[in-house]
Every structure is written in structure tokens, then in C-alpha cells.
Amino acid sequence: MASNRVTEIVAAVEARCPDGRGQPAALVALCAEWLPVTGAGLALMTADGPAGTVAVSDGPAGELEELQFSLGEGPCVDASRTGRPVLQPDVARTAPGRWPAFAGGAHAAGLRAVFAFPLRVGAIRVGVLDLYRDTVGVLSPEELTDALAFADAATLIVLGLPAGDGGEHGPRDPVAVLDDRAEVHQATGVVSVDAGVTLEEALMLLRARAYAEHRPIRDLARDVLRGVVHFRTKDDDR
Amino acid sequence: MAREQRLAEVFVELADTLVDGFDVVDFLQVLTERCVELVDTDAAGLMLDDQRGNLQVVAYTDESARLLELFELQREEGPCLDCFASGETIANVDLADAAGRWPTFAEAAREVGYTVSHALPMRLRGQVIGALNLFTIAPTPLSDDHLAVVQGLADVATIGLLNERAIRDQVVLSEQLQTALHSRIVIEQAKGILSAQGRTDVAAAFRLMRTHARRSGEPLTAVATAVIDGSLDAERLHRASGSTA
């Protein structure tokens, strides 16, 4: 999954943000440039629904996010809930039956095709990358594959991983979190129990400590699994 | 149940990919489980091409098989990779005698106790989408009959996967595999949770989930999801596996 394309996208975003700020905005701008879409939006999602927009490209992307945020329905809400992409190549035809309130507003905003990709790391659901077009039409398999790489890159950026793991001397290994590096995911589970936090918080704890100690997150994960490194709840400090 | 009858059942099970909620990981997990059940072998692992230049470990029957598959990917050496590249079956590899061809893989496989390995392609006509590895502890080769059974299962599963993709609107292999990879990650996260709850290693945690999945008839990913949302925990799984029912 951590294909060269994901690494390439993350590198391009970082190159546009020399001080490490504004990466989500750079990513949605890059979507519009590199993918055959008109614009893109990046939204955070929780189990309860949309939790806020992180970045939108120029044009009606803001309306796309705002509609779903205020209505609590739409392709990105469904993508987050199901954990699977929601591909709507012809919104005017398919949306009215599925999201009646969203459909009208989307059409009025000029959205003709919407493709929503969940940003997730296993059971951790962080948000959705929405792509839209002002014309109807499907993404080809190659374009869809590329869009999935953008979703992977967006996941890393939303989790703060590209900037976080790349210290001056620290080894950088951000993509390993998404890649099939099982130890990181197993350690996330261990930390969530030991520290009494959610999986998402556990991953953040791991990341923060790896960053603080200037070591790759995979090394730290192995130590957690071996029982050498512990994350404890405050209750255990008695 | 007669072996032939069981075999027929399994072929039907693997042909049934048009069900609601079809999940690639669960489907391929069933394939690996059935290989170990039906032929003289102890562990199975499966890799799929992710269409982005990587092979991914998608299913395995136990931790040692997963580690050996990952080992092949990391060292870029091993029968599964050669089988994937050539599309040809590599059967009955005597691991004591394979140091010339796969020095690091042969040693790693022997270290975890295997003496024989096999690799079979997941192939439909010219397209190779992955490879299936089998590992055996006792130094007994697989008969031609058993090899034919495994290849048959792999073929049915491959056709099923390609069909499943073809019938969905605008769904391609890369999306299937992305979903599959996340199902896999869910299982890894659940293993970590269980190992911390039960104070066991992740291999034991995986066995616990697998045993429960087999007994309850639930997909492995459903069991893992239940562990993550808290409706199943190590104590309950232990209690369930300790009962004789």
C-alpha cells in the first residue's frame, strides 16, 4: 500500500510546505492538479458524523463539505461509515434517491460527479478525501488507483505523520504506519489497552514517543510488543 | 463426512463470492484454512498483487506463516515470489536442500520448524494475481492428488475474486485490496488488544480469534472488529475456547 506513488505525493506536499504548515491545503491543491478532478476537500470524521473541514481547494469544494457537514448526509459521510470509497460518477442521477437533501444542494453548486475516499488505518477512521468534478463521468481504473494513493497520502498528513517522523537526525518512516507493518498496528492495540485510550490516541502516543526519542516507530512498536517499553494509565502511577 | 463430500462443499463455499458484504480478506482466509484442513500441510499464507508494484500478505493460518511471507517480501527471496513471477507451481521444496536457491528463506522456514514448502499461483489464464504458500512440519511431500486439490481451490478462489470485481460498478482490484489491507490492519490491532488484555503474545492472540471465528462461524474480521469495539475480550474468548461445546 505504501507504494512509491504515496511517497511521491507526500514528498510533493512537503516540498510545497517548507515550514511544515499548510500541508492539507497543499494536498487538496495537488489533487486538483494531478488527478482529473475539478477540486477536492479534506474533512475529519468521527463516529457521529462530519467533525469539520480541514482544507478545500478553490471552487465549490467548500460547499460540498459544508453541505455534508450541515446535513449529516452525503458521499463522504457514507464513505466514512462504511470504510469504503463511495463513487458517484453522475450525482444528478444517483444522489436524489440516496441523499435527498444533499442532492439538490450539490447540483446547485455545480457538482456533477463526487468520489469520496475514507482515510483510515484499520479500525481508526480519521476522515474523508472528497474529489469532485463539474462534469459527469467515471474514474478509470488507473485514475481510481491514483486517487487511492492520494487518500493514503491524505491519511498520513491528517495524522501528522510526515512532519512528525522526519526529525533532522531521526529516521523517517511515516509510510510504515499505513504499510503492512503489522508490528505498529499490533502495538497500537497493546497501547490502547495499557494506556486506556482509543486506537487513534494510542497511535498518536506511539508516534509522539518515537518522535521524541528520534527512532523509527517500528522499532518502538517492537519494543512495546516485547514488553520493554510501556505506556501506562495515570491510575497505574499510584 | 466423506472427504469427497467435504471437498465438494468447500468448492461451493469458495465459488460463492456474490454474497452481500463480501470481504476479500475473509474469503482468502477461508481459502488458507481449507488448504490446511484438506491436504497434508500445517500452515498456509497468501500474497496478492496490490496493482501498485507491491505484493501484500493478505491471509495466513498462523503467525509463523505470516512472518515467513513477510520475510520473503523483505528479503525479496523465496518460493512464493518465484511462483508469482513465473506463474508456475513450485511444489515439494525440501527446505534442508534449498539453501542454494533461497538461502535466507530456507533457513528462516527451518528455524520455525518447517521441512517442506509449496507455492502455487493464483492465476486465471495469463493473469497472475498472487501466490499461495504451504508449509509442512513433517518431511512428507504432497501427493499429486493433494496438489491438484490445492490448485483447484486456488483456481476457484481466483475466478471468484475476478468475477466479484467484474460485477461491481466501478470497483477495481486496487479498491478491493485497499479495503483488504485495512481489514488486515484491523486484525493486527485486535491482536495487540487481546495480547495486552490476556497477557499473551500476538501469535496466541491470533489463535484465540481464529478458534473463535471457526467455532462461531463468524468471519475473522468480524471477530477482530468485536474485539476492538469491546463486545469481545480476551476473557470471553478464553472462556468460549475452554468450553467443550
In the 3-class helix/strand/coil scheme, how is chain A assigned residue by residue? CCCHHHHHHHHHHHHHCCCCCCHHHHHHHHHHHHCCCCEEEEEEEECCEEEEEEEECCCCHHHHHHHHHHHCCCHHHHHHHHCCCEEECCHHHHHHHHCHHHHHHHHHCCCCEEEEEEEEECCEEEEEEEEEECCCCCCCHHHHHHHHHHHHHHHHHHCCHHHHCCCCCCCCCHHHHCCCCHHHHHHHHHHHHHCCCCHHHHHHHHHHHHHHCCCCHHHHHHHHHHCCCCCCCHHHHC
C-beta atoms of A1 and B181 within 8 A: yes
A4 and B CB contact within 8 Å: yes
Query: Which residue reads 523509527 in cell numbers?
Result: A216
C-beta atoms of B188 and A186 within 8 A: yes
Residue B172 and residue B79: Cα distance in Å, rounded? 28
Residue A78 and residue A81: Cα distance in Å, rounded? 5
| Spatial contact of A16 and A26, defined as CB atoms under 8 Å apart | yes
pLDDT in tens, A93-140: 988 999 999 999 999 999 999 999 999 888 888 899 999 999 999 888
Residue A164 and residue B109: Cα distance in Å, rounded? 36
Q: Which residues of B, range 170-199, sit inside 8 Å of A by Cβ?
A: 170-175, 177-179, 181-197
| Chain B residues inside the 8 Å CB shell of A8 | none
Q: Nearest Cα to B114, choosing from B172, B176, B41?
A: B41
Nearest by CB: B192 against A144, A152, A185: A185
| Chain A residues inside the 8 Å CB shell of B66 | 182
Residues 6+ apart with CB under 8 A from B185: A121, A122, A123, A180, A185
Residue B121 and residue B136: Cα distance in Å, rounded? 18
C-beta atoms of A122 and B185 within 8 A: yes
C-beta atoms of B191 and A186 within 8 A: yes
Q: How far is B43 from chain A (nearest CA, A)?
A: 19
Residue A163 is predicted with a pLDDT of: 42
A138 and B CB contact within 8 Å: yes
Per-residue pLDDT for A213 more than 70? yes
Residues 6+ apart with CB under 8 A from B35: B41, B44, B132, B134, B150, B153
Q: Tell me phi and psi for residue A203, to 5 degrees.
A: -65, -40
Residue A156 is predicted with a pLDDT of: 87
Residue B51 is predicted with a pLDDT of: 65
pLDDT in tens, B40-68: 899 999 998 876 667 888 899 988 888 88
| Chain A residues inside the 8 Å CB shell of B70 | 180, 182
pLDDT in tens, B144-196: 999 999 999 999 888 877 765 555 544 556 677 777 778 888 999 999 999 99
C-beta atoms of A185 and B195 within 8 A: no
> What grid cell was written down for B156?
476457484
C-beta atoms of B189 and A84 within 8 A: no
| Chain B residues inside the 8 Å CB shell of A84 | 175, 179
Q: Which residue of A has its CA nearest to B224?
A: A123
What's the complex ipTM? 0.80
Nearest by CB: B192 against A84, A121, A190: A190
Residue A64 is predicted with a pLDDT of: 86
Q: How far is B159 from chain A (nearest CA, A)?
A: 19
A186 and B CB contact within 8 Å: yes
> What grid cell was written down for B20?
452481500
Residues 6+ apart with CB under 8 A from A111: A60, A63, A64, A91, A132, A133, A134
Beta-sheet strand order (sheet of A39-46): A49-56, A39-46, A124-133, A113-121, A86-88
A97 and B CB contact within 8 Å: no
| Spatial contact of A190 and B196, defined as CB atoms under 8 Å apart | yes
C-beta atoms of A145 and B52 within 8 A: yes
pLDDT in tens, B97-147: 998 999 999 999 999 999 999 999 999 888 888 999 999 999 999 999 999
| Chain B residues inside the 8 Å CB shell of A192 | 189, 192-193, 196
pLDDT in tens, A135-166: 999 888 788 889 988 998 999 888 876 543 44
Neighbours of B141 (CB within 10 A): 15
Residues 6+ apart with CB under 8 A from B2: none
Nearest by CB: A3 against B52, B57, B225: B52
Residue type at B240 in one-letter notation: A
Residue type at A106 in one-letter notation: A
C-beta atoms of B52 and A149 within 8 A: yes
| Chain B residues inside the 8 Å CB shell of A151 | 178
User: What would you report as the CA-atom Rg of chain B, rounded to the nearest whole angstrom?
Assistant: 18
C-beta atoms of A87 and B185 within 8 A: no
Residue B18 is predicted with a pLDDT of: 64
Nearest by CB: B182 against A120, A144, A191: A120
Residue A175 and residue A196: Cα distance in Å, rounded? 26
Q: Which residue of B has its CA nearest to A200?
A: B189
Nearest by CB: A182 against B175, B183, B188: B188
Distance of CA A7 to the CA centre of its chain: 14
Positive or negative torsion for Cα A222, A225, A228, A234: positive
Residue B89 and residue A136: Cα distance in Å, rounded? 45
| Spatial contact of B17 and B161, defined as CB atoms under 8 Å apart | yes
Q: Which residue of B has its CA nearest to A125?
A: B182
pTM of the model: 0.79
Helix axes B24-38, B220-229, angle to 10 degrees: 120
Q: Chain-wide mean pLDDT for chain B?
A: 86
